[in-house]
């Protein structure tokens, strides 16, 4: 609870209405009218599908009397409107003040890129934990503080949620917080006011381009680059085609990492582990080297681990401790092995939801598969349609059988999405099943001994987004508890 006037320290504004409220306490900040309680300040945020200004009257009915808005509204007497140029920018700056600047109490680490953000964040947190240092994480896999993890709406949530998480982390004694920083977050001021002690760039490819995202690839790229004006140090993946461009954009010292010979920090001799499902490589930085064994497969897993170790070393974690810690790292929904009743097939869940990530996932599994690869996937509705052809072509190249099904259709017709994807896949290897649960059952029942099954797109998610509602849906549990009609087996424990 803070005095309203004290929250306006870094905001340019015009006041309309009851200025006496400036001396009153604000109990909370809200941008969802349904969550408003008495004493809350309501922020009218303009989104892709809805405008918060249209919900101001509902917020008033629920108890709000202070409104941050971008233009004056016809609200009842007794209210105070704080007119600002950008409501999201105001939310970020007000949130920092409301939580008494928790960002100054932690060393903040940012990870950006098209792919690999979640994995690098989780690996960094895993290493810090094993080194006896508390690290909070904010990203696609949720907000994790200590043993508690809560889901997030986006890879990078709204600024209020971030500052609230940082405040809780600082209160619990955390030293570090690592955040996934998306391009949309950078465009919409979600990380406004945060200064990062270190920032990682993993890679860049065409994605998130469409009506409700970025208008062009250049816009997407420019948004990513802006992170490095908010950082004290940068770590750039030298293997990426845009590495030099991002290095030039850095307004801070930087190092490079990768398998490329010119990289400052290198992964040498990347290869599948001699036993088990994973990858091994030699971490090399100057004269220092250490063997790293991961339970995650693929060259990209080695790159993610390389970045995580390099970041943690910068904060004093010894190389041997960091490399040893990653032996036990498992990332939920990222090439995650899921046991099922049949032990002669391999089921993998992954978050791959664009063509490049799906192609890499399939190529990685090919190095381990003794039989066929069956790929089950779909594509989200209401987002960039460029993904669909890329997904279809990647699946057609990398799998013997493609099962096209629903992902998160939202307000779009699932059958239309599936039909569009299927049009890019040869008919003889394509099966279309709109109901994802039925599609999972079909994939498991058609599997033969030695086959690898990749369930792509959902990853860590425990829901399906349908017509704006998140319906409970656990792909993991469906796989674990599937009863094979052709074999009469019982569900695995």
Each residue's pLDDT tens digit, 139-184: 999 999 998 999 888 889 999 999 999 999 999 999 999 999 999 9
Whether the CB-CB separation of 456 and 358 falls below 8 Å is answered with yes
Whether the CB-CB separation of 324 and 129 falls below 8 Å is answered with no
Whether the CB-CB separation of 278 and 295 falls below 8 Å is answered with yes
Query: Is 487 among the domain residues?
Result: no
Whether the CB-CB separation of 304 and 116 falls below 8 Å is answered with yes
Q: Kindly state whether residues 124 and 233 are assigned to the same domain.
A: yes
pLDDT at 464 (0 to 100): 94
Each residue's pLDDT tens digit, 251-283: 899 999 999 999 999 999 999 887 778 899 999
Of 289, 305, 328, the last residue of a domain is 328
Of 65, 98, 131, the last residue of a domain is 98
Question: Does residue 485 register a pLDDT over 70?
Answer: no
DSSP-derived 3-state class of residue 18: coil
Strands 452-456 and 346-350: parallel
Query: Is 313 among the domain residues?
Result: yes
Each residue's pLDDT tens digit, 362-418: 999 998 888 999 999 999 998 777 789 999 999 999 999 999 999 999 999 999 999
Average pLDDT over residues 450-455: 96
CATH code for the domain of 401 = 3.90.190.20
Q: Kindly state whether residues 229 and 350 are assigned to the same domain.
A: no
Interatomic CA distance for residues 59 and 73, integer angstroms: 13
pLDDT at 486 (0 to 100): 52
DSSP-derived 3-state class of residue 7: helix
Query: Is 355 among the domain residues?
Result: yes
Each residue's pLDDT tens digit, 87-97: 999 999 999 99
Q: Kindly state whether residues 44 and 115 are assigned to the same domain.
A: no
Query: Is 417 among the domain residues?
Result: yes
Q: Which residue has the tokens 């990685």?
A: 364
Number of folded domains that form the chain: 3
Question: Does residue 210 register a pLDDT over 90?
Answer: no
In terms of Cβ atoms closer than 10 Å to its own Cβ (0-12, 13-18, 19+), residue 10 is middle
Of 294, 328, 362, the last residue of a domain is 328
Q: Kindly state whether residues 265 and 314 are assigned to the same domain.
A: yes
Query: Is 92 among the domain residues?
Result: yes
Query: Is 311 among the domain residues?
Result: yes
Each residue's pLDDT tens digit, 321-372: 999 999 999 899 999 999 888 889 999 999 998 898 999 999 999 988 889 9
Q: Kindly state whether residues 425 and 297 are assigned to the same domain.
A: no
Q: Kindly state whether residues 219 and 107 are assigned to the same domain.
A: yes
Q: Kindly state whether residues 32 and 116 are assigned to the same domain.
A: no
Quote the mean pLDDT of the chain. 93
Whether the CB-CB separation of 56 and 44 falls below 8 Å is answered with yes
Query: Is 492 among the domain residues?
Result: no
Q: What range defines the domain where residue 375 resides? A: 336-480
Interatomic CA distance for residues 29 and 404, integer angstroms: 42
Residue 240 CA: distances (Å) to CA of 256, 263, 289 = 10, 11, 23
Q: Kindly state whether residues 80 and 229 are assigned to the same domain.
A: no
CATH code for the domain of 228 = 3.40.1190.10
Confidence of residue 212 (pLDDT cuts 50, 70, 90): low
Query: Is 420 among the domain residues?
Result: yes
pLDDT at 491 (0 to 100): 42
pLDDT at 183 (0 to 100): 92
pLDDT at 367 (0 to 100): 87
Average pLDDT over residues 293-314: 95
Q: Kindly state whether residues 137 and 286 are assigned to the same domain.
A: yes
pLDDT at 492 (0 to 100): 37
Interatomic CA distance for residues 40 and 57, integer angstroms: 14
Q: Kindly state whether residues 305 and 359 are assigned to the same domain.
A: no
Q: Kindly state whether residues 122 and 170 are assigned to the same domain.
A: yes
Q: Kindly state whether residues 56 and 183 are assigned to the same domain.
A: no
Nearest Cα neighbor of 138 from 67, 194, 209, 206 is 194
Interatomic CA distance for residues 98 and 343, integer angstroms: 53
DSSP-derived 3-state class of residue 480: helix
DSSP states along 66-116: EEEESS-----TT-EEEE-S-HHHHHHHHHHHHTT-GGGGSEEEEEESSSS
Confidence of residue 489 (pLDDT cuts 50, 70, 90): very low
């Amino acid at each position: 609870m803070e005095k309203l006037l004290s929250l306006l320290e870094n905001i340019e504004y015009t006041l309309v209405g009851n200025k006496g409220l400036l001396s009153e306490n604000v109990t909370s900040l809200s941008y969802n009218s349904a969550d408003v309680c008495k004493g809350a300040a309501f922020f009218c945020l303009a989104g892709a599908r809805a405008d918060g200004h249209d919900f101001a009257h509902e917020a008033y009915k629920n108890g709000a009397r202070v409104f941050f808005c971008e233009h004056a509204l016809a609200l009842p007497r007794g209210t105070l409107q704080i007119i600002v140029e950008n409501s999201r920018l105001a939310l970020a700056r007000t949130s920092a003040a409301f939580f008494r600047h928790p960002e100054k109490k932690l060393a903040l680490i940012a990870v950006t890129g098209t792919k690999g953000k979640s994995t690098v964040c989780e690996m960094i947190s895993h290493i810090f934990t094993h080194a006896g240092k508390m690290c909070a994480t904010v990203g696609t896999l949720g907000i994790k503080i200590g043993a508690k993890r809560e889901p997030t709406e986006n890879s990078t949530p709204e600024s209020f949620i971030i500052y609230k998480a940082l405040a809780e982390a600082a209160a619990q004694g955390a030293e570090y917080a690592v955040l996934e920083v998306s391009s949309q977050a950078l465009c919409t001021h979600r990380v406004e006011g945060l200064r990062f002690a270190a920032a990682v760039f993993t890679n860049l490819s065409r994605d998130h381009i469409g009506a409700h995202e970025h208008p062009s690839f250049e816009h997407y790229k420019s948004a990513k680059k802006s992170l490095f004006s908010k950082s004290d140090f940068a770590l750039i993946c030298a293997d990426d085609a845009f590495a030099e461009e991002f290095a030039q954009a850095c307004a801070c010292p930087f190092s490079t990492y990768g398998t490329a010979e010119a990289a400052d920090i290198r992964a040498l001799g990347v290869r599948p582990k001699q036993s088990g499902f994973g990858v091994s490589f030699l971490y090399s930085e100057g004269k220092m080297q250490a063997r790293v064994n991961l339970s995650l497969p693929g060259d990209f897993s080695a790159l993610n681990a390389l970045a995580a170790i390099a970041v943690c070393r910068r904060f004093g974690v010894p190389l041997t401790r960091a490399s040893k810690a990653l032996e036990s790292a498992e990332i939920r929904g990222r090439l995650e092995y899921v046991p099922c009743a049949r032990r002669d097939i391999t089921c993998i869940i992954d978050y791959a939801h664009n063509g490049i990530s799906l192609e890499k996932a399939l190529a990685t599994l090919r190095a381990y598969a003794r039989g066929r690869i069956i790929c089950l996937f779909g594509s989200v509705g209401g987002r960039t349609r460029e993904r669909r052809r890329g997904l279809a072509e990647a699946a057609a190249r990398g799998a013997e059988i493609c099962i096209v099904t629903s992902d998160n259709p939202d307000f779009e017709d699932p059958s239309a999405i599936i039909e569009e994807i299927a049009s890019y896949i040869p008919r003889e290897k394509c099966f279309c099943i709109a109901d994802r649960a039925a599609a999972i059952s079909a994939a498991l029942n058609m599997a033969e001994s030695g086959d690898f099954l990749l369930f792509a797109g959902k990853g860590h998610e425990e829901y399906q987004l349908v017509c704006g509602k998140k319906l409970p849906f656990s792909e993991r549990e469906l796989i674990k508890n599937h009863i094979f009609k052709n074999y009469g087996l019982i569900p695995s424990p």
